[in-house]
């Protein structure tokens, strides 16, 4: 999408847009701000890199902030014929980072972004410095019991997701963002076709049971997390999350051992919208802890 962003929220997202064409032929949009101390931001679905806008502004003087939009979301291409599974999204992220030839990096993961995040972390464990997880999930059987069958390919799914844009509007309305930011979140999903990837993704989620192929792949991924036990993790968790219940947090604690999560009692699934000031400082402290140079605090 090369059309300039509307002035109504351009000041909220003051970044140059970059595009990379994947082997599938789809163009992937990404933000690349700053030069050193690479930090990769992976967004939730149906959000996009816009979610990390304030962090990128605050961190780019001392960190290289790399934030892609998955194919089908944000400002990336949205092919109509794609399964938009978590595995497909992960493969795209791996290809994207491989083509950019990234070296060592930090990870900041939100929601479903934990899946491609943990995939690249376990794939390139020697390159990972520090990992921050914001209400993320990559565990089959945990927090996946909610049925999204209403968003499948039937007429009802098309009405709710494609015509009314319900899943995206509900996700945005659950944040405490201002009007221009609200417009920014919705901007990439203005047409019927642009909403199809979200409907397809949500329709696929019920298949991520352990007995199904997608669940097996997720289980195998989650079983590799132990190889990251020596890494510095920080879990940021909004306790009022209606997307992932507390059993997901308990699973992270069980997998990561001594990690003590930071709890945000005035937040739900979107801490960086609900309690940005309270979260930004600790995150910067985490990321700067792996750098020899002194990084100013927020």
Residue range 244-279, pLDDT digits in tens: 989 999 999 999 887 899 999 999 999 999 999 999
* Residue-wise pLDDT tens digits, 65-100: 999 999 999 999 999 889 899 999 999 999 999 999
CATH of the domain at 71: 3.40.50.1820
Q: Is residue 117 part of a domain?
A: yes
- Domain membership flag for residue 144: yes
Residue 229: pLDDT band (50, 70, 90) is confident
Name which of 12, 55, 7, 60 is nearest 177 in CA terms. 12
- Answer with the residue of higher pLDDT: 92 or 180: 92
Domain span at residue 90? 17-287
In a domain, 12, yes or no: no
Phi, psi of 251 (to 5 degrees): -65, -40
pLDDT confidence of residue 70? 98
**Within-domain flag for 292:** no
| Domain assignment present for 9 | no
Within-domain flag for 293:
no
99 belongs to a structural domain: yes
pLDDT digits (tens, 9 = 90+) for 19-68: 999 999 999 999 999 999 999 999 999 999 999 999 999 999 999 999 99
Which long-range contacts link 243-252 to residues 24+ away (Cβ below 8 Å)? 243/111, 243/135, 243/143, 243/268, 243/269, 244/111, 244/135, 244/136, 244/137, 244/142, 244/143, 244/269, 245/143, 247/142, 247/143, 248/137, 248/139, 248/142, 248/143, 251/139, 251/142, 252/133, 252/136
Count: domains in the chain: 1
User: Is residue 275 situated within a structural domain?
Assistant: yes
pLDDT band at 210 (very low <50, low <70, confident <90, very high): low
């Amino acid at each position: 999408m090369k059309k300039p962003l509307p002035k109504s929220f351009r000041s909220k997202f003051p970044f140059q847009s970059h595009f990379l064409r994947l082997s599938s032929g789809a163009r992937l949009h990404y933000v690349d701000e700053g030069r050193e101390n690479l930090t990769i931001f992976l967004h939730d679905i149906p959000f996009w890199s816009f979610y990390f806008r304030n962090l990128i502004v605050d961190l780019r003087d001392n960190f290289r902030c790399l934030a892609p939009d998955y194919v089908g979301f944000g400002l990336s291409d949205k092919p109509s014929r794609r399964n938009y599974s978590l595995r497909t999204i992960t493969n795209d992220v791996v290809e994207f980072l491989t083509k950019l030839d990234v070296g060592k990096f930090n990870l900041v993961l939100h929601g479903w972004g934990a899946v491609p995040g943990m995939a690249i972390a376990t794939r390139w464990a020697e390159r990972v410095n520090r990992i921050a997880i914001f209400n993320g999930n990559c565990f089959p059987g945990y927090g996946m019991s909610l049925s999204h069958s209403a968003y499948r390919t039937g007429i009802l799914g098309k009405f709710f997701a494609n015509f009314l844009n319900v899943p995206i509007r509900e996700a945005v309305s659950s944040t405490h963002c201002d009007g221009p930011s609200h417009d920014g979140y919705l901007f990439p999903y203005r047409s019927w076709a642009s909403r199809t990837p979200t409907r397809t993704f949500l329709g696929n989620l019920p298949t991520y049971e352990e007995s199904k192929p997608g669940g097996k792949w997720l289980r195998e991924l989650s079983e590799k997390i132990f190889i990251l036990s020596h890494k510095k993790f920080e879990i940021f968790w909004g306790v009022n999350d209606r997307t992932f219940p507390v059993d997901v947090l308990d699973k992270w604690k069980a997998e990561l051992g001594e990690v003590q999560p930071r709890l945000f009692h005035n937040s739900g699934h979107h801490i960086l919208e609900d309690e940005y000031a309270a979260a930004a400082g600790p995150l910067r402290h985490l990321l700067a802890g792996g750098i020899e140079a002194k990084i100013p605090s927020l």
